[in-house]
A and B are shown apart, each in its own frame.
Chain A
Amino acid sequence: MSTTTEETSSEAAVVATGIGKTFDTRDGEVQALTGVDLEITAGEFVSLIGPSGCGKSTLMRLIADLDSPTEGTLEVFGKSPAQARRDQDYGIAFQQAGLLPWRTVGANIGVPLELHGVARPDREKRVAELAELVGLTDFIDRYPDQLSGGMQQRVAIARSLAEQPRLLLMDEPFGALDEMTRERMQAELARIVGESGAAVVFVTHSIPEAVFLSDRVVVLSARPGRITGVVDIGIGRDVHRDEALRETAGFFEKVTEVREALHGTPVTAAAREAR
């Protein structure tokens, strides 16, 4: 377990050098990623964006040690991803909330704490804090099937923050939500991340979502998945992320910039048509 907020911003959360990943499938080898170099500093919010099959989820899964790269080296806080996983350096949230249906909201948030032997009183205290952070204090004794999709996803986010990780990995956490809920959740995530000071790797399909949340947007192209562009958003962590921000000229500019980076290469255009 790790404490947050104090480390210097120069420390690297993730360093990827020449990462490649091939999957053996029935149709032969598929090159999911190739030659990926990426450095994410502590406290930085980085979105990975690209068409389906560009390997953005794969890259996140490599960082999470849910898969291992076939080429290159990957360091998470200066350690191997496996070691970082064992040290619980990151928290993770998927597109599916993945809540255990037989556990209440509180018990779901507390799963990682329970597994790592946090004593019950401390656990209950921490769970109450997290429930408040995501605005679910009144729902702590409810079961997942009694919650809306957005609320379930908030539980998943609270759970990913349970052990105060220095790094958050999120794979399209709002992908299954309707647009209204989605925008509200984005604003909440920006606030929560701001409070935690954690670095974030955020996989998404949505350009406005990436621009709204990120310090940097990394654009990937498909087959083989590789980085084709990096857009610095430059909104700054201190800027309050609310509805007004979505309507500023600077926001539109960055949306356009990311769109051009995304669609600018022939490879990406082909992939887009393939969809």
Chain B
Amino acid sequence: MTTEQASLRTGRPRARTRGAQLRATAFGLLGIISVAVLWEVYKAVAPENGVVIAGTRVLPRTTDLAMPHTWEMVARLLEPTTSQAGAAPLWLTVAEAALLSLGIAAVGWLVGTVVGVGLGLLMQFFQVVERGLLPWIVLSQTVPLIAFAPVVRSWGSRIEILGWQWPQWLSVAVIASYLAFFPVAIGMLKGLQSPQRTHLELMHTYAASRWATLRTVRLPAAVPYLLPALRLGAASAVVGTVVAEVSTGYLDGIGRQLISFAGQASGDPAKAWAPIFGAIALGLVAAGLVGLIGLALRTYRRGEAA
């Protein structure tokens, strides 16, 4: 930009016009519809027993048991969950479980974010900590979740403080936070280290303290790194919650529901798909909520354009 006319540009970064928003929505719907169409076309065209090459099934069976019609899945959502009188519709049962899991994932995400941001700050402030801690942080993510989930649960069940019993869902949240903290810690550290040299030298010439430099330069500069990290953290928290629910035997969430409804699939194939949709919706809502944080902090993303 060499002309002063450039300054006449008043647009906010990433501000989208109404037309672009509509187009994005249309593309989203088109994506869902094309998956459904693909599903039905395959079901109609492919052989009943799937495609088997050299004894290995490379494409799935197309029976109603393995691949129920999409409209049956949707219709099943509106029917009662069980044949018992007064049973809630399936979508409601799934939504309740998904919301519960969302709450647990949110707690896990929050704990993970606090821990991750804290670790990032600590590592930026003390290089010794970065050298000593960073390898362990990376290593922590190689431990399979299902290996320590029962351990966390059994520790949790022994915690009792002044009559307050550690609830089982908190164990699930702790396990979710174990996955969520990682991208946040790495993103935070990277972001805090990202300011231009000129900015840091300027702060030095102002005789600014480390704290003032952190507040004025490092934290704002970290935002563009932190936002995708928070989003990754949210996705990790959701996955962590679902897996932890299964491996700790927590019964009320979407994770357990996935297993138990899959068990009923032989008699009620469409039902097994409902919690899968629930889990997908859960992930989307979680990502969307984190996206709102990005919207609130959009001023700090100007650095991405400059």
Binding site for B on A (CB under 8 A): 64-66, 85-86, 88, 90, 92, 94, 96, 98, 100-102, 111-112, 114-116, 139, 142-151, 178, 181
Contacts and interface: CB of A to CB of B under 8 A. Distances in A.
Contact of B202 (A92, A101, A114, A181): A92
B206 A66 contact: no
B199 to A, nearest CB: 6
B3 interface: yes
B245 to A, nearest CB: 40
Contacts of B220: 100, 102
Contacts of B216: 100, 111, 114-115
Contacts of A92: 202, 205
B206 A100 contact: no
Contact of A98 (B199, B204, B212, B301): B199
Given A66-B205, A101-B306, A142-B7, A149 B198 contact: no
A98 B306 contact: no
B38 interface: no
Nearest to B305: A145
A181 B203 CA distance: 28
B225 to A, nearest CB: 13
Contacts of A150: 2, 4
A98 B203 CA distance: 11
Nearest to A163: B206
Contacts of A178: 2
Contacts of A143: 302
Contact of A88 (B1, B204, B206, B223): B206
Contact of B1 (A64, A85, A148): A148
Nearest to B196: A98
Nearest to A181: B2
Interface string B275-306: 00000000000000000000000011111011
6 contacts: A101-B306, A115-B216, A144-B302, A144-B306, A147-B7, A149-B1
Contact of B205 (A85, A142, A147, A151): A85
B303 A88 contact: no
Given A111-B216, A181-B2, A145 B202 contact: no
A151 B1 CA distance: 10
Contacts of B299: 102
B34 interface: no
Interface residues of B, number: 32
A145 B302 contact: yes
Interface of B: 1-4, 6-7, 9-10, 13, 196, 198-199, 201-208, 212, 216-217, 220, 223, 299-303, 305-306
A95 to B, nearest CB: 9
Nearest to B209: A115
Contacts of A145: 13, 302, 305-306
Contacts of A139: 7
A179 to B, nearest CB: 11
A86 B207 contact: yes
Contacts of A66: 201, 204-205
Nearest to B212: A115
A101 B208 CA distance: 19
List the 8 closest pairs (A to B, CB-CB), nearest first. Answer: A98-B198, A101-B303, A101-B302, A101-B306, A145-B306, A102-B300, A86-B207, A148-B1
B208 A100 contact: no
Contacts of B212: 115
Given A102-B302, A111-B206, A116-B206, A146 B7 contact: yes
Which of A85, A88, A111, A115 has the most chain B CB within a 10 Å cutoff? A115
Contact of A115 (B1, B2, B3, B208): B208
Nearest to B223: A102
A249 B205 CA distance: 40
Contacts of B202: 92, 94, 98, 111
A96 B206 contact: no
Nearest to B1: A148
B306 A88 contact: no
Contact of B6 (A64, A85, A148): A148
A142 B216 CA distance: 19
A150 B204 CA distance: 25
Contacts of B301: 102
A69 B205 CA distance: 17
Contacts of A88: 206-207
A92 B199 CA distance: 12
Given A102-B220, A115-B203, 7 more contacts: A86-B207, A92-B205, A94-B202, A98-B196, A142-B7, A146-B9, A151-B4
Contacts of A94: 198, 201-202
